[in-house]
A and B are shown apart, each in its own frame.
Chain A
Amino acid sequence: MRIICPYCGERELGEFTYLGDAKPQRPAADAGEDAVYDYVYLRDNIAGVMSEHWYHGGGCRAWLKVTRNTLTHEISAVEPAAGVGAAKVGA
């Protein structure tokens, strides 16, 4: 598996660290316990195309949003993750 970083180009997997599914959103501070439980512990654990967060620690140190198929490891898109990284390139 190689990831084409939008800042650095195509790099080998060892430069990247995986966080996980990009879908869970941190609930509001006053959300109930169930919402926090859902966010922290429960996962869709998709078998197929999944959007996920990777960190390019061995390169530009930006957070990336990678669209990848968990059945085949095929990567169909890599974008800067929302936040500082995305702001840099106006994404």
Chain B
Amino acid sequence: MKYSIFSLARAALSGHKTWQPTWRDAAPKDRYDVVIIGGGGHGLATAWFLASEFGIRNVAVVEKGWIGSGNAGRNTTIIRSNYGLPGNTGFYELSMKLWETMEHDLNYNAMVSQRGVLNLYHSDAQRDAFARRGNTMRINGIDAELLDQAALRKMLPFLNFDNARFPVQGGLLQRRGGTARHDAVVWGYAHAASALGVDIIQNCEVTGFTRDANGKVTGVETSRGRIGAGKVGMAVAGSSSRVAAMAGLRLPIESHVLQAFVSEAIKPLIPGVMTFGAGHFYVSQSDKGGLVFGGDIDGYNSYAQRGNLPVMEDVCEGGMALIPMIGRVRLLRQWGGIMDMSMDGSPIIDKSPVDGLYINAGWCYGGFKATPGSGFVFAHLIARDQSHKEAALFRLDRFQRGAMIDEKGQGAQPNLH
């Protein structure tokens, strides 16, 4: 199925009764060249890039539940590339560029909206740090603008500029950042990958790995039987430790819960994405009108996909400090997702110590924006057995070598990243 204005018109004339499923719900074959564990955005993007860029089309994506049922469906849909450290800066910009072309590449509307991401600063020291990060971005060819208070008063007149404790002095704006429709990203990659022959296998939980006499991974055991594989890639952030443990590996990762919130729908208020710089609160407004916001992770290990009240209170206090009028808006729903919190706050995309098993993990709470870039560099790693240059620092052994990529400078304490 190819989508266009003509396909839309044709379907409209027949009362929209002719639409077909956009991807095939496949049954597992005995063997594939590559099996990807995890039918989220990253896993499906990896399969799509393997098929479209690297010529490997005998690929299966196996998913425990339904595609997009994990963090791909539980995030706050923000895309940006405003990172400051070598390793992150180039990688997230690669991902940003892929966001800009993905809808055309996939022939699927993912509602990518470059409405801008604005980080607010509230002190001279924070302004200097943001100026430095903005300069880092600009010398790497990424857009960044440092705005002063006068510019922000025009753009966002409702902010609490004169708050006695946290006056808003200005902000660092990346206009190319914004949001994308998270479920459509999943469906778009599934649509395009499936069209190239990738099998998407749902309700298929991996329960173990099959290994040969040398210990090389030769496939996966699943709830739908054994599936042979030349190579196996895991993209199961949130559950990476559990899957890696089946291959006898321990990872530098803890699983933590991050909550997100949506308000009732209101008229257009928030033009882009903005973050409070004096606490942890970020907000955007969905096209349906709901304010989508969040803050810190809860801070304790959890696989429960739900959080507790102290963080909810903290997030709402941050929102009230920045935009006092949102106290009048009612909260509509709230949920939690399980984050692969790595020991330095940056991801791991590398071969594992087990031959034939490739790891894509440790995305902390920043995996959504990385979806296309992660898929591209992971497919590169699996196809060519070497890291893509923009992912060359995301190595599993970097902790042992002291080559951490610690954007916040917090050290090996995952709940502080």
Contact = CB atoms under 8 A, between A and B. Distances in A.
Decide whether A and B assemble into one complex. Answer: yes
B242 A47 contact: yes
Contacts of B302: 70, 73
Contacts of A71: 303-304
Nearest to A44: B250
A12 B312 CA distance: 13
A50 B300 CA distance: 11
Contacts of B241: 43-45, 47
Contact of B300 (A40, A46, A52, A72): A52
A50 B301 contact: yes
Nearest to B252: A41
B406 to A, nearest CB: 12
Interface in B224-257: 239, 241-242, 250-255
A45 B301 contact: yes
A14 interface: yes
Contact of A73 (B299, B304, B400, B412): B304
Interface residues of B, number: 27
B255 A47 contact: yes
B399 A45 contact: no
Contacts of B308: 1, 13, 73
Contacts of B313: 14
B301 A21 contact: yes
B343 interface: yes
Contacts of B301: 18, 20-21, 45-46, 50, 52, 70
B141 interface: no
A42 to B, nearest CB: 5
Contacts of B242: 45, 47
Interface string B393-417: 0000001100000000000111100
Nearest to B239: A47
Nearest to A18: B300
Nearest to A14: B310
Nearest to A46: B301
B164 interface: no
A76 to B, nearest CB: 15
Nearest to B310: A14
Interface string B290-302: 0000000001111
Interface in A52-81: 52, 68, 70-73
A42 B245 CA distance: 12
B250 A37 contact: no
A44 B255 CA distance: 10
Contact of B251 (A43, A47, A73): A43
A74 B323 CA distance: 36
A26 to B, nearest CB: 13
Contacts of A1: 308
The residue among B253, B303, B306, B412 with the most chain A CB atoms within 10 A of its own CB is B303
Contacts of B399: 37, 40-41
B309 interface: yes
A21 B31 CA distance: 39
Contact of B255 (A13, A37, A70): A70
Given A12-B309, A37-B400, A70-B303, 19 more contacts: A14-B310, A14-B313, A17-B299, A18-B301, A18-B415, A20-B414, A40-B399, A40-B412, A41-B343, A41-B400, A43-B251, A45-B241, A45-B254, A50-B301, A52-B300, A68-B300, A70-B255, A70-B304, A73-B308
A-B pairs with lowest CB-CB distance, top 7: A45-B241, A14-B310, A41-B252, A18-B300, A41-B399, A42-B250, A47-B303
19 contacts: A1-B308, A12-B310, A13-B308, A20-B254, A20-B413, A20-B414, A21-B301, A41-B343, A43-B241, A43-B250, A43-B253, A44-B241, A45-B301, A46-B301, A47-B242, A70-B255, A70-B303, A71-B303, A73-B302
Interface of B: 239, 241-242, 250-255, 299-304, 306, 308-310, 313, 343, 399-400, 412-415
